[in-house]
Amino acid sequence: MSTTTEGLEGVIVGDSSICSVSEPNGGHLLYRGYAIEDLVHAASFEEIAYLLLYGELPSLNALKQYQHKLITERSLPDTLKKVLELTPGTTHPMDVLRTACSFLGALEPETSSNGAQNIADRLLACIPSMLLYWYHFHQHGKRISTESTEETIAGYFLDLLYQHTPPDDFRQTFNVSLILYAEHEFTASTFAARITTSTQSDFYSAIVSAIGTLRGPLHGGANEAAMKLIQQFKTPDEAEKKVKEMLAQKIKIMGFGHRVYKISDPRSALIKACSKQLSTQSKDGYLYAVSERIERVMWDEKKLFPNLDFYSATAYHFCGIPTFLFTPIFVLSRVTGWSAHILEQRAHNRLIRPESHYIGPGKRKFVPVEQRKG
């Protein structure tokens, strides 16, 4: 009798040299051998993007050139702007990004002169432009300029969002968050990108598969769901009561638990520190205390710990970022990891095609439609 592994838990489906996730006594995360704890406050997100995409950290000169390239790749074709204007303002921004990336693939398809590495850089550079062009057009009736000489992607995103220069602490938090979201080995969305790649499909199709997979609340959508929960409470006591009730009803608390980590998510403490620091100057800084109480209840009741999404929610909120943009921010960071995996899959490709354990009816006789009962 064959057995199945529900959700592929614990199944190793391929070799990778991009990132390592392990859990001896708490979670550990390395990007190409570098611990995230060493990267978050010392590196810019562009350095990490370069590390993931090109395999090594850039020299100062290479970084300057890379940042310059990304700056020049931010502009959007007029037809794409039109599509963004025609996409309703009520659309979930994850659907906007899925559509916009797909449409860019029609305008700038993968060819021998527009290769994979180029497309990876182009998407990294222009996803913030797509998202925030659509956002300002529909929320504020404004056609914003996506041209900017701002060097960093963190600064560029916040600059476009606020339409003015962001405060330094917001920019630092956002940079940390982009680094933490950049890569996480064979997550569902990355695996979706690798499956699409394994059929020898094009780069954009793999990215679009990944965006669609990230959207769900069990994956990237958890940061938005966590914020909606946290915001319901005015006090930690209120949060404790409600979360206990939810657990009693077997309702999942978004932003907790993980498939691989079993004791802690190493990214959580890093973004939690940012959230704590920003809470001290935010008008609704009390939400940090609410979050901490939810964390305590989840540990006491279920031995579950916050994953990256939980404290990212309040960190973004304290930066004044609207909740419905949280998951798309995950895209603008993770496009680096996805792209690195697409390149890696292509370099050692074999079609990914698992098998199922059939549990349907046994072989039976076909009856023509006119002879069927009912």
- Tokens in use for 280? 């001290």
CA distances from 292 to 250, 253, 273, 284, 298 (A): 21, 14, 12, 14, 10
User: Considering the complex, what minimum distance in angstroms separates the CB of residue 271 from ligand ACO?
Assistant: 10
219 is catalytic: yes
Q: Which is nearer to ligand ACO, 192 or 253 (CB)?
A: 253
Strands (E) located in the chain: 19-22, 28-31, 34-35
Query: How many alpha carbons fall within 13 Å on the CB side of residue 228?
Result: 12
User: Considering the complex, what minimum distance in angstroms separates the CB of residue 321 from ligand ACO?
Assistant: 17
Q: Which is nearer to ligand ACO, 81 or 293 (CB)?
A: 293
Among 109, 218, 263, 300, binds ligand ACO (CB under 6 A): 218
User: Considering the complex, what minimum distance in angstroms separates the CB of residue 340 from ligand ACO?
Assistant: 17
Neighbouring CB atoms inside 10 A of 57's CB total 16
Among 155, 166, 220, 328, binds ligand ACO (CB under 6 A): 220
Is the Cβ–Cβ distance between 70 and 125 less than 8 Å?
yes
Among 143, 132, 126, CA closest to 335:
126
Stretch that binds ligand ACO, among 67-75, 217-225, 272-280, 286-294 (CB under 6 A): 217-225
- Tokens in use for 188? 């569902």
**Binding residues among 87-126 for ligand ACO as defined by CB under 6 A:** none
Q: Which is nearer to ligand ACO, 11 or 347 (CB)?
A: 11
- Count of positions (residues) in the chain: 374
Q: Which helix (H) or strand (E) holds 39?
A: helix 36-39
Q: Which residue among 159, 265, 309, 317 is the active-site one?
A: 309
Stretch that binds ligand ACO, among 119-127, 215-223, 270-278, 314-322 (CB under 6 A): 215-223
**Binding residues among 282-341 for ligand ACO as defined by CB under 6 A:** 302, 304, 307-309
| Residue 19, φ and ψ in degrees, nearest 5 | -155, 145
184 is catalytic: no
Cβ neighbours of residue 16 under 8 Å, at least 6 residues apart? 185, 186, 341, 344
Binding-residue pattern over the window 250 to 279 for ligand ACO, x denoting contact by CB under 6 A: --xxxxxxxx--------------------
User: Considering the complex, what minimum distance in angstroms separates the CB of residue 170 from ligand ACO?
Assistant: 21
Among 130, 222, 294, 321, binds ligand ACO (CB under 6 A): 222
Q: Which is nearer to ligand ACO, 126 or 222 (CB)?
A: 222
Buried b (16+ CB within 10 A) or exposed e, 199-235: eeebbbbbbbbbbebbbebebbbbbbbbbebbeebee
Q: Which helix (H) or strand (E) holds 354?
A: none
**Residue 179 interacting with ligand ACO (CB under 6 A):** no
Neighbouring CB atoms inside 10 A of 290's CB total 24
Residue count, binding to ligand ACO (CB under 6 A): 18
User: Considering the complex, what minimum distance in angstroms separates the CB of residue 262 from ligand ACO?
Assistant: 9
User: Considering the complex, what minimum distance in angstroms separates the CB of residue 69 from ligand ACO?
Assistant: 28
User: Considering the complex, what minimum distance in angstroms separates the CB of residue 123 from ligand ACO?
Assistant: 20
- Tokens in use for 150? 């701002």
- C-alpha to C-alpha distance for 62 and 311, rounded to whole angstroms: 33
Query: How many alpha carbons fall within 13 Å on the CB side of residue 101?
Result: 29
Among 308, 326, 309, 328, CA closest to 317:
326
At 15, the amino acid letter reads D
Binding-residue pattern over the window 3 to 22 for ligand ACO, x denoting contact by CB under 6 A: ----x---------------
Q: Which is nearer to ligand ACO, 32 or 259 (CB)?
A: 259
Q: Which is nearer to ligand ACO, 105 or 255 (CB)?
A: 255
Q: Which is nearer to ligand ACO, 167 or 217 (CB)?
A: 217
Q: Which residue among 138, 258, 317, 341 is the active-site one?
A: 258
Stretch that binds ligand ACO, among 33-41, 152-160, 214-222, 231-239 (CB under 6 A): 214-222
- C-alpha to C-alpha distance for 105 and 159, rounded to whole angstroms: 26
Summarize as ranges the residues that interact with ligand ACO (CB under 6 A). Answer: 7, 218-220, 222, 252-259, 302, 304, 307-309
**Active-site positions?**
219, 258, 309
